[in-house]
Structure 1
């Protein structure tokens, strides 16, 4: 085999960024073994491209109810075309790493469906695929680190370099995939006349305000939204701040109006605060270049999800695009180790990335929720060159929120050219084992935005819908905790727009009736419309009562509905809650009769789960 034939294509389908990060790690692994590696999202390639590479590695997460991620849907449709001959991918040699969560009934279905279809088209594996489980003690990372080690060994043994070249050692930094260096060089040699203009437009120099910038970024397929209301739903004395945020979304283009359905999400794009950006600038020693104008067109390829402000500076990228308050991934710790001037720091950072120290990484980063900027303060010898910003730091990804209104409630109260959308948002504030207060990036960004603020949002359609006239004729058994009531509220309102909907049961759990029984008046009003509400408040009495306890209490009522093939919807922020609800529904039903027949009946019901 010629050295020029050593090619690997790494393709990912990613909803939240985990699969993308995994794919990029695999691309670097192959690069160290002197393969020409290319990393792309699945929708960015045609089927013919699969046959142009010696090996293909798929990295696919499962989203929703066993669905492909949104950035893999076009590829999947192409793969399902009936006119594709059975052996058309016979030359393809591939493997697959699936990212899943076993609390969902359709665990790792996206990866399984992909593997099954590739086999039907004649493709064969060059290494056993892996199904990782978020519920493993070490999460997805534990599975990936071990599987990546096996992949490396396999490639070395089965695909050795024809000229005997040794792998690039781990202590040697790879060339950057994305580099700002050309723009920085041009800025350093350019005219100084551009700087006053940037200052006048608010894109250069430390901000006098500590509010995030108000620029509207060029996000593809986005909508312009105006905050109509930012209403607090919990009392000031409550432990959690929950908001009902209302958006007025204008028509787009030649009059296209946003249409939403239950289960759809609105994606918000948070920004950083100037004081935090300045903190990172000072840590890295970027003061001399932070506010120079950058011409990104000089940089060649840039990350596909980079929606940079215009005009642009390094500080502008920090404010709008760089997620430096995120929990660092292992790949980030490895990247910054190359820029440490302290040998002990370098060795410790690299330890966190190895199989032997996966537990310590979990304790250091994941369990304690350390942020990237805190890590850089702790490992103070690290100085990342500004040209490596996009290559080392993660980008801010949009945050998805389930739409909380439905049916007629999506109509704007006064304007026909607007769509009114409501989100129920919990402001993320907590303390970790480090005892330091934490606040989510999007929560902090959204908390103080006043009515009238204009932002960019995206709309994400539900992939496994449970709305519509046919579904409204099936009983609904909804189980929700906290802000998980948002998609359930949307669904219940939508069902009532159809004639004679089937009965609906709502099991809603929270801590206190007085503090967080969201939409109480609505549930009381809807109780006349074939809706039964069973609230569970865990802290209002000595003995804690949870949603699953009420489900077990009502098991005879559920058993009567199950033969009608109801829709079960479970929504909330806890995988333990989802598992407990599943057992509370299934166990009594299976135990009460012929086990085999009853399991067959349960296979025909719809279990729709949304856990975050």
Structure 2
């Protein structure tokens, strides 16, 4: 009986890919062979010949599939496909989503439904992981994985003389070793100032337009006494590129110099031969887990620590299992094993998730385990830096690509403030910095019919996509030629965080729109945008019903949209 298992994923930020690779590693305990691939890297025409497939996918935006599964998905949607075309395919499916969105795990649900329509045999109910859960995706993933192997081993049992391995023989994805290279004389070693993704087709996502940016302006737009730093960031573009209001700029941030120094200082404390200038070579063990193209050239540990490893990430259970492997201290090893076990997830939540403890802080807390760490374990316990998406706050007519970015900084029970990796990186970028990003279509679909009035609800930095819309309307505005749109803008107080106030007043002054504000802290009773919406019911009825207007909400994905 064949023991081939195909694992396919659709991943936008890397989370679904990480979990797909975990399933792949686990499969080796049960002697399965087969690759783990993005759906679009697999020839979907061969799916009819597969016997056993695990699908793992995330949902992005408002129910959209990740970029690296769209070709695969479009093929499955073909009407001419026979209803029994996948009758030989047994499958399981795990989805990742955020229950704060209306179309929660929409991609996983519709993929599951379509596979059944084509005759596929579901081994189990679709698993739906929720980012909002206290324990994160692991709350669903761990029991789902346990059930998966129960189902698969019922159909594909091991021979009586074979037992499942205690641990996967492929705990490490790749071979990693330090090499003795003279950087001055070896052109294959990248310069440490080089962007490791700059020429990577897979990481820069060439299905979407790549854009090279030069930072022109980076200033705080909230009052100095306001609790939050919100930045107005403006880029010049080295290559001409077009976008539509509502589109998104995707950036991959870097770790700050202080964080990188802290990591290497920790290595030094334990006398580990891991220095910033150490050059490493990463090689594949077999074709089932290829090395990404951007990691194929020899690379310094400083470049990895700056551009690839997310030093701010909260470690997943597997990181604790790997740290336990070589740990000689019994107390540390037992605690690490507990955190990696299904029974220890509540304790792990209290230790890591609730206080937002980073992987570097975990290494500091477990000195015996850290003193025995290897290069290969480092490549596994550090998660890759994930790209971040920002609604573009300008239109092409402005000639600049602009963002409104709220700098994330808050306190937990830990003494050191928690900081957002990308927003802090953007805050500290000096004018003149050159960065690379890419554009993708947003979920805000502005109607092509300019006669339709727009009702926009954009508290805080949720204003960004509407600023793009309004700037474009202003550039084409002719007095009395367009209906008046309405913007509901909410913030804490007029003096502290009324973003783009002068621009909005200018647009209101020429008759482009009506601005209705809600300053929640400027009076004793808190007032939010939903209160202003209720107060203006007659106006909204006129715009939305009588004039066939369109209603948009942008901002927090938690309570605000439901309240509105």
The two structures have a TM-score, normalised by structure 2, of 0.88
Partner of 1:357: 344
More displaced stretch, 279-288 vs 118-127: 279-288
Q: Contact 1:145–1:354 at 8 Å: present in 2 too? A: no
Question: CA 1:535–1:73 in structure 2 vs 1: closer, same or farther (change >3 Å)?
Answer: same
**Cα separation, 2, equivalents of 1:213 and 1:424:** 27
What is the SS of the residue equivalent to 1:535? strand
- Summarize deviations over 1:318-363 as a string: whole Å, max 9, x none: 2221112211122322332223222222222232233333222222
Superposed displacement of residue 377, structure 1 = 0.4
> Which stretch shows the higher mean deviation, 396-405 or 20-29?
20-29
Give the equivalent residue in structure 1 for 2:147.
Answer: 150
Looking at structure 2, the residues matched to 308 and 169 of structure 1 have their Cα atoms a distance apart, in angstroms, of 30
The offset of 1:452, in angstroms, is 1.4
- Give deviations 1:354-392, integer Å, cap 9, x for gaps: 333322222222221111100010011223211343333
Q: Structure 1 pair 337/48, CA: closer, same or farther in 2 (3 Å)?
A: farther
Contact 1:6 1:54 in 2 (8 A): no
Map 1:87-166 → 2, pairs under 5 A: 87-166=84-163
**Counterpart of 2:54 in 1: which secondary structure?**
strand
Match of 2:44 among 33, 47, 65: 47
- For the residue of structure 2 that corresponds to 1:569, the secondary structure is strand
Residues 281 and 451 from structure 1, CA distance in 2 versus in 1: closer, same or farther, beyond 3 angstroms? closer
Q: CA deviation at 1:468?
A: 4.8
Provide the rounded CA distance (Å) in 2 between the counterparts of 1:238 and 1:305: 43
> Superposition pairs for residues 13-28 of structure 1, below 5 Å?
13-28=10-25
2:264/2:275 contact within 8 Å kept: no
Distance 1:355 1:159 in 2: 25
In the alignment, the residues of structure 1 paired with residue 170 and residue 295 of structure 2 have an alpha-carbon distance, to the nearest angstrom, of 25
- Asked whether the 8 Å contact 2:29–2:169 carries over to 1, the reply is no
1:414 is matched with which residue?
A: none
**Deviation of 1:159 (Å):** 2.4
Report the counterpart of residue 517 of structure 1 in structure 2: 498
Partner of 2:394: 405
For 2:113 and 2:558, the matched residues in 1 are separated by 28
The total of aligned residue pairs comes to 545
Whole-angstrom distance in 2 between the partners of 1:297 and 1:142: 33
Residue 442 (structure 1) aligned with residue 422 (structure 2): yes
Provide the rounded CA distance (Å) in 1 between the counterparts of 2:233 and 2:555.
18
Aligned position for 1:551: 533
1:433 corresponds to which of 403, 413, 436:
413
Cα 1:137–1:314 shift into 2, 3 Å: closer
Instruction: Write the distance in 2 (CA, Å) between the matches of 1:292 and 1:489.
Output: 46
1:575: which partner in 2?
A: 558
Report if aligned partners of 1:281, 1:287 keep a CA contact under 8 Å in 2.
no
Structure 2 equivalent of residue 598 of structure 1 = none
Contact 2:175 2:282 in 1 (8 A): no
TM superposition shift of 1:530: 4.3
Find the counterpart in structure 2 of residue 265 from structure 1: 248
CA distance in 1, matches of 2:284, 2:30: 30
- Equivalent position to 1:371, from 358, 373, 386: 358
Paired residue secondary structure (2:299): coil
Alignment of 1:23-422 (within 5 A): 23-170=20-167, 174-181=170-177, 184=178, 187-188=179-180, 194-196=182-184, 217-220=198-201, 221=206, 222-251=210-239, 257-284=240-267, 285-287=271-273, 290-296=276-282, 307-308=294-295, 312-382=299-369, 383-406=372-395, 408-409=397-398, 411=399, 420-422=400-402
* 5+ residue gaps, structure 1: 205-211, 252-256, 412-419, 582-612
Q: Provide, for residues 74-110 of structure 1, a one-character-per-residue CA deviation record: whole Å limited to 9, x for no partner.
A: 2112222344333322221112112223332222221
Q: Secondary structure at the match of 1:7?
A: coil
Partner of 1:529: 511
Looking at structure 1, the residues matched to 523 and 278 of structure 2 have their Cα atoms a distance apart, in angstroms, of: 60
Secondary structure at the aligned position of 2:458 is classed as strand
Q: 3-state SS of the aligned residue for 2:223?
A: coil
- Structure 1 242/468 Cα, relative in aligned 2: closer, same or farther at 3 Å? same
For residue 274 of structure 1, report the CA deviation from its aligned partner. 4.0
Secondary structure of the residue that 2:253 maps to in structure 1?
A: coil
CA shift for structure 1 position 575: 0.4
Q: Alpha carbons of 1:495 and 1:435: their partners in 2 closer, same or farther (altered >3 Å)?
A: same
The answer as to whether partners of 1:180 and 1:389 remain within 8 angstroms in 2 is: no
- State TM-score, norm by structure 1: 0.82
Write the distance in 1 (CA, Å) between the matches of 2:190 and 2:291.
25
Q: How big is the alpha-carbon RMSD for the aligned residues of Structure 1 and Structure 2?
A: 2.9
Q: For the residues of structure 2 that align with 1:503 and 1:62, how far apart are their CA atoms?
A: 35
1:215 Cα shift? 7.5
SS at match of 1:180: strand
